[in-house]
A and B are shown apart, each in its own frame.
Chain A
Amino acid sequence: MVLIKHIGRYVLETLGTTGQLVIFFARAISHCFRPPYFYRLILKQVIDIGYYSLPVVGLTTLFSGMVLALQSYNGFTRFSSESAVATVVALSITRELGPVLAGLMVTGRVGSSIAAELGSMKVSDQVDALKILGTNPFDYLIAPRIIACIVCLPILVLIGDIVGVFGGFLVGVYKLNFNPAIYLYQTVSYLEPIDIASGLIKASIFGLLLGIMGCFHGYNCSRGAQGVGLATTNAVVSGCILILIFNYLVTELFFSS
């Protein structure tokens, strides 16, 4: 009996949170398309979210590209098809690793800081103060962050793609002794626009997801000492999980047929 009660409460709570999230999502998106726009805040967020994430994304994709080259070379020598290394590196980086790794890393860096910032504003009544001073927090706090996430992630991923392929190139040429010209040729010749485009579209979706999760958990942060910490953790965990789930769904959409 007690067990049923617990399960019942858990199910109800989960449904409740999901409902809240859906409503929050709809409102956040509608405020992204509706004035007033706070251009200065959007610019500030673009710098915070995009520019300052460059090192993290660059390092991640650089080393992933390098490892990928090593690993695939190692594997492909067994079928004596070493020539596929460049192509495999380029395809995996642009289609999968670039967007997913950048999405996860940026969630760790930005999703958490959005949640912490909004959470502490909520707890210290700054969100209420905004309302009193005639400003909708969705316009002033949430829309700029979400717009910045959606815009910045594809740019970060594009740069990450280039850096990652370059990492593969470095290993290929200097360690595995590929001819640089042939390596580049093999990189480019099998790469199609859809590979890069699908990665960038994924990146936008991931940006939206991580922005929404950061804002949702920060904005609904509970009072008390653990409130902000909990909001941060939840933002990162839920952001990462959603990114991985949507990664599958979007891939299916693009490449299943």
Chain B
Amino acid sequence: MRVALFITCVNDTLFPGTGKAVVSLLRRLGCDVDFPAAQTCCGQMHVNTGYRDEGVRLARHFTEVFAGYDAVVAPSGSCAAMVREQYPKLVRPGSRGAAAIAEVAPRVHELSEFLVDVLKVEDVGAYFPHRVTYHPTCHSLRGLRLGDRPTRLLEKVRGLELVPLPAAQECCGFGGTFAVKNPAVSAAMGADKVRNVLDTGAEVLCAADNSCLMHIGGTLSRQRTGIRVMHLAEILAATDEGTRP
């Protein structure tokens, strides 16, 4: 199957390891991965901060770049939710833009959706002998309704011990520009999330969104907890031979 990777601007710039892991994983599962180089950003930061014009421009660019692919895979619940849930609200119903969005949006999948719903695999052949807890980020949980897809994938990883995260469904406090516009509340939410992560005794905190992990991980690191954060793709890509694609 021919798949377009939508890496997302945050992963592209700050977390290339997640992109490499997605490529490695999808190739292992027999997909032909393409990376349309013209892609940039879904526009979520601009739209959600109140800069709709810039956001709409980026959304239009996205629909042009990814038109014509059978499947688009994004290692981010938040960016996939932006395309599927928020794009339709940015355009007038019945307009050309609306038609372009209706064309591409249903084919955009977050990674775990693509694996479980499209490829129909849960055991991806991964090996990761560590104690892991999983944080279901808000846009994965309440936007895309990923449900237990990510944890079903994690449970099938050899060697991995999955421990439940208390109050998992509570927001970590990242919220995009919220983290700098309301730093006190964001930090307080992050501190509570970190306390719950520590309570699990896990070595690794996993999520399907690096932006939330950047916030929780930054807090974990500042507090010198020694707990690592890893994107779901990186755990699923790991095998006995390592993760290199």
Chain B associates with chain A: no
Which residues from chain B sit less than 8 Å from chain A, CB to CB?
Answer: none
